């Protein structure tokens, strides 16, 4: 078995496009996890009168730096900046804007084009596009991962039950899924958006209601095939419970097919979130979102940096995932395991 | 009598338009405690179906199976478990009777834990002992089934069946997938087991010479029917049916 795994890794590496895509995607994802240290409206480090402060982790009131108010210091305010710089210094992140920071001191009208201050320009509310893209990338991938993992888990359990027990469970389960997947998801979401203001978790739950059906067919087929294998009969004769047979003896074999689909489900989930955001039924207003940026790009044709930024980030992200998925699919090819067995 | 199979019948529907195929036709077999019987017949005579019905992997259409004088029809989960503690099986294809992604140690200890024979802690030691009993080295415990040879795996399968101290073990073509030399080794192992352990066995095979080697009484099957029953020492008696003679002749041709 370990031999097969080694061979699989070798096949994956041999697909240069997919291999490099995985590295690039991992790099981008890990970088985006540290967005707060790359694009933020708070300095990373302040030395004030010999004391050290870390505004990213802790909020300090203006009074700490000799200001007038109890409220949190606005480090972008020139008044606060002069106060601090008189008695110490600040180290700023690479981008001095967070995703929700509005550029107050601009003489230009929004959306303003790229400048040394805003390397991808600002959007129509005066927020830095680069910061929004960075945070938007992170939330898209995290949302996609959460949706993929949760819907795979539900789908695997549902498929396993149907395939293993067969008969009525299978019949009614399949009919239910046929009807359920026939429901128009988008309309339901639009209707629901009238009653509730979707948050990240609400949206995840709603999409999960409809996305779990994707893997059921595949897992069901694997279980239907496997439940007549001799080792399943042997396990049953050795007093194994149904649950143990399903999850210890059949699932590991069905998992290969399941895992193969995951990168594609991930890219599908990201696309769904983006399209909902684009239509305005997605994440709450103000959230960093690639779909919202695309919508802004559509509204502001005179400001091409909006649409182009969102387009480039989305297409790179989705292409990377598809390339990774392709390499993954080749590596998981059952023929590899079979050719090893013949040897 | 530990197992009594009384006029068992089973048909399969392959095509709605066609007549169902009668795989077992009033087959009756009896088995005494510590007795080893053989069931011989050519491919497709219903031997494996018989084994599957005894193992309750299939249900019969007609007839009855009594284990320890109790019918095994319509057992509930707990009763079926108890039944399996008494009746175990060794399958034909060693590789396909072990799930590929589970290590040998787990395969062996699972049965021990499930039937409450020993605790989780002790199961590894007990598995080691079981492996030694069937002549395998202990390091095989941490291998996957695909890393063992067919003969080794079949030894593990025998160890697994014996681990729960069953009253009956069914060997369904247990050596057919092995080469001649490995087959001889397994048969030798079974002979040793016959001396040291107490269990009855039903040895199902197409190879009449092999069955003679190991079973004291033999049933000959043809087209789902038991056509003859005789003691293996009476093999050359002139009373043997034509079909049995044919099988014996075919087996001796090989040598």
Quick check: A237 contacting B, CB < 8 Å? yes
Residue of A nearest to B78 (CA): A239
- Return the structure tokens found at A161: 């039950």
Residue of B nearest to A252 (CA): B101
- Selecting from A1, A249, A253 the residue whose C-beta is nearest the C-beta of B146 gives A1
> Alpha-carbon distance A92 to B135, whole Å?
71
- Chain B residues closer than 8 Å to A233 by CB: 52, 55, 57, 89, 91, 97
Helix (H, G, I), strand (E, B) or coil at A136: helix
Does the pLDDT of residue B155 top 60, yes or no?
yes
- Selecting from A233, A248, A250 the residue whose C-beta is nearest the C-beta of B55 gives A233
pLDDT value for A343: 47
- Selecting from A1, A229, A232 the residue whose C-beta is nearest the C-beta of B101 gives A1
Helix (H, G, I), strand (E, B) or coil at B166: coil
Cis peptide before A101 (omega within 30 of 0): no
- Selecting from A238, A239, A253 the residue whose C-beta is nearest the C-beta of B100 gives A253
- Among residues B195, B203, B199, the alpha carbon closest in space to that of B232 is found at B203
Quick check: B254 contacting A, CB < 8 Å? no
- Chain mean pLDDT for chain A: 86
Mean pLDDT within A179-204: 85
pLDDT confidence tier of residue B246, bands split at 50, 70 and 90: confident
Under a CB-based contact definition with an 8 Å cutoff, are residues B6 and B63 in contact? yes
Backbone angles phi and psi of A276, in degrees to 5: -65, -40
Q: Which of residues 238-267 of A touch B (CB under 8 A)?
A: 238-241, 244, 248-250, 252-253
Does the pLDDT of residue A150 top 90, yes or no?
yes
- Return the structure tokens found at A37: 């240290």
CA-to-CA separations, B217 to B66, B74, B187, in angstroms, rounded: 19, 30, 17
- Chain B residues closer than 8 Å to A240 by CB: 110, 114
Largest CA distance in chain A: 81
pLDDT confidence tier of residue A73, bands split at 50, 70 and 90: confident
- Selecting from B97, B147, B160 the residue whose C-beta is nearest the C-beta of A230 gives B97
pLDDT value for A316: 94
- Chain B residues closer than 8 Å to A230 by CB: 91-93, 96-97
Cβ contact, residue pair A230, B111, below 8 Å: no
> Alpha-carbon distance B137 to A2, whole Å?
21
pLDDT value for A115: 78
pLDDT confidence tier of residue B123, bands split at 50, 70 and 90: confident
Does the pLDDT of residue B132 top 60, yes or no?
yes
- Return the structure tokens found at B180: 């001649």
- Return the structure tokens found at A29: 């994802």
- Selecting from A239, A241, A252 the residue whose C-beta is nearest the C-beta of B115 gives A239
Q: Which of A108-112, A314-318, B196-200 has the highest mean pLDDT?
A: A314-318
Quick check: B149 contacting A, CB < 8 Å? no
- Selecting from B102, B146, B160 the residue whose C-beta is nearest the C-beta of A248 gives B102
- Chain A residues closer than 8 Å to B114 by CB: 238-241
- Note the pLDDT tens digit of each residue in A212-254: 988 898 899 988 888 888 888 888 888 888 888 888 888 887 8
Q: From the CB of residue B171, how many other CB atoms can be counted at a distance below 10 Å?
A: 29
Residue of B nearest to A237 (CA): B84
pLDDT value for A63: 79
Quick check: A83 contacting B, CB < 8 Å? no
Q: Which of A154-158, A228-232, B186-190 has the highest mean pLDDT?
A: A154-158
Quick check: A234 contacting B, CB < 8 Å? yes
Mean pLDDT within A40-48: 83
Does the pLDDT of residue A24 top 90, yes or no?
yes
- Give the closest-approach CA distance of B18 to chain A in angstroms: 24
Residue of A nearest to B115 (CA): A239
Q: Which of residues 51-70 of B touch A (CB under 8 A)?
A: 52, 55, 57
Q: From the CB of residue B247, how many other CB atoms can be counted at a distance below 10 Å?
A: 23
- Give the closest-approach CA distance of A248 to chain B in angstroms: 8
Residue of A nearest to B116 (CA): A239
Does the pLDDT of residue B157 top 70, yes or no?
yes
Between A107-111, A338-342, B31-35, B197-201, the lowest mean confidence (pLDDT) is in A338-342
Between A65-69, A132-136, A334-338, B207-211, the lowest mean confidence (pLDDT) is in A334-338
Does the pLDDT of residue A114 top 80, yes or no?
no
> Are β-strands A51-53 and B36-40 bridged in parallel, bridged antiparallel, or unpaired?
unpaired
Does the pLDDT of residue A334 top 80, yes or no?
no
Does the pLDDT of residue B183 top 80, yes or no?
yes
- Give the closest-approach CA distance of B215 to chain A in angstroms: 24
Mean pLDDT within B199-212: 88
Quick check: A231 contacting B, CB < 8 Å? yes
- Give the closest-approach CA distance of A153 to chain B in angstroms: 20
pLDDT value for B253: 64
- Selecting from A229, A239, A252 the residue whose C-beta is nearest the C-beta of B96 gives A229
Q: Which pTM value belongs to this model?
A: 0.79
Q: From the CB of residue A54, how many other CB atoms can be counted at a distance below 10 Å?
A: 12
Quick check: A1 contacting B, CB < 8 Å? yes
First to last CA, chain B: 36
Residue of A nearest to B163 (CA): A238
- Chain B residues closer than 8 Å to A251 by CB: none
pLDDT value for A155: 92
Residue of A nearest to B164 (CA): A238
- Note the pLDDT tens digit of each residue in B4-39: 888 888 888 877 777 888 888 888 888 988 889 999
> Alpha-carbon distance A327 to A14, whole Å?
9
User: Residues near A228 by Cβ (< 8 Å), separated by ≥ 6?
Assistant: none
Does the pLDDT of residue B98 top 60, yes or no?
yes
Does the pLDDT of residue A177 top 90, yes or no?
yes
pLDDT value for A144: 93
Q: Which residue has the tokens 């996890």?
A: A33
Cβ contact, residue pair B101, A231, below 8 Å: no
- Return the structure tokens found at A310: 């969102």
Residue A72, strand partner residues: A61
Does the pLDDT of residue A67 top 80, yes or no?
no
pLDDT confidence tier of residue A313, bands split at 50, 70 and 90: very high
Helix (H, G, I), strand (E, B) or coil at A115: coil
Mean pLDDT within B74-93: 86
- Show the 3-state SS of B38-60: EEECCCCCCHHHHHHHHCCCCCC
Mean pLDDT within A41-51: 82
Task: Convert A95-121 to b/e letters by CB count within 10 Å (16 or more is b).
Answer: bbbbbebebeeeeeebbbeeeeebebb
- Selecting from B98, B106, B111 the residue whose C-beta is nearest the C-beta of A231 gives B98
- Chain B residues closer than 8 Å to A341 by CB: 146
pLDDT confidence tier of residue A314, bands split at 50, 70 and 90: very high
């Amino acid at each position: 078995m370990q031999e097969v795994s080694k061979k699989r890794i070798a096949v994956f590496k041999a697909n240069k496009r997919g291999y490099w895509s995985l590295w690039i995607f991992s790099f981008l994802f890990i970088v985006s996890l540290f967005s707060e240290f790359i694009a933020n409206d708070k300095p990373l480090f302040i030395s004030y009168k010999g004391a050290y402060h870390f505004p990213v982790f802790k909020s300090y009131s203006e009074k700490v730096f000799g200001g007038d108010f109890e409220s949190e210091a606005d480090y972008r305010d020139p008044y606060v900046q002069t106060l601090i710089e008189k008695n110490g210094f600040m180290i700023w992140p690479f981008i001095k804007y967070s995703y929700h920071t509005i550029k107050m001191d601009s003489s230009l009208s929004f959306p303003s084009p790229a400048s040394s201050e805003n390397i991808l320009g600002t959007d129509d509310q005066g927020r830095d596009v680069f910061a929004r893209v960075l945070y938007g990338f992170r939330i898209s991938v995290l949302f996609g991962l959460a949706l993929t993992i949760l819907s795979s888990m539900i789908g695997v359990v549902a498929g396993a039950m149907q395939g293993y027990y067969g008969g009525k469970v299978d019949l009614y389960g399949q009919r239910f899924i046929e009807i359920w997947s026939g429901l128009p998801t988008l309309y339901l979401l639009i209707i629901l958006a009238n009653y509730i203001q979707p948050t990240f978790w609400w949206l995840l739950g709603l999409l999960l209601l409809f996305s779990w059906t994707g893997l059921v067919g595949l897992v069901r087929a694997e279980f239907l095939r496997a439940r007549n294998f001799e080792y399943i009969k042997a396990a049953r004769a050795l007093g194994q419970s149904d649950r143990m047979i399903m999850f210890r003896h059949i699932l590991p074999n069905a998992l290969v097919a399941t895992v193969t689909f995951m990168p594609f489900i991930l890219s599908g989930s990201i696309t769904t979130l983006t399209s909902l955001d684009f239509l305005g039924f997605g994440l709450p207003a103000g959230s960093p979102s690639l779909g919202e940026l695309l919508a802004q790009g559509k509204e502001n044709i005179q400001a091409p940096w909006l649409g182009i930024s969102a387009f480039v980030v989305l297409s790179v992200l989705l292409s990377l995932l598809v390339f990774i998925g392709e390499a993954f699919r080749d590596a998981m090819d059952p023929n590899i395991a079979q050719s090893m067995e013949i040897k | 009598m530990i197992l009594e199979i009384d006029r068992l019948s089973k048909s399969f529907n392959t095509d709605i338009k066609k007549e169902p195929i009668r795989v077992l036709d009033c087959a009756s077999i009896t088995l005494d405690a510590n007795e080893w019987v053989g069931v011989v017949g050519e491919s497709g005579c219903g031997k494996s179906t018989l084994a599957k019905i005894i193992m309750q992997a299939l249900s019969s259409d007609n007839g009855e199976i009594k284990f320890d004088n109790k019918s095994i029809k319509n057992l509930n989960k707990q009763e079926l478990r108890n039944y399996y503690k008494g009746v175990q099986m060794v399958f034909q294809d060693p590789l396909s009777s072990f799930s590929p992604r589970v290590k040998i140690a787990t395969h062996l200890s699972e049965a021990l834990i499930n039937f409450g024979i020993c605790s989780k802690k002790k199961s590894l030691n007990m598995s080691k002992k079981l492996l030694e009993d069937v002549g395998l080295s202990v390091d095989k415990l941490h291998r996957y089934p695909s890393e063992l040879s067919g003969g080794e795996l079949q030894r593990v399968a025998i160890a697994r069946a014996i681990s729960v101290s069953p009253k009956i073990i069914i060997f369904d073509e247990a050596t057919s997938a092995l080469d001649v030399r490995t087959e001889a080794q397994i048969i030798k192992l079974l002979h040793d087991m016959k001396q040291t352990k107490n269990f009855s066995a039903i040895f199902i095979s197409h190879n009449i010479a092999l069955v003679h080697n190991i079973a004291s009484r033999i049933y000959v099957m043809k087209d789902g029917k038991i056509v003859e029953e005789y003691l293996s020492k009476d093999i050359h008696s002139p009373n043997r049916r034509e079909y049995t003679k044919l099988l014996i002749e075919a087996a001796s041709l090989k040598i």
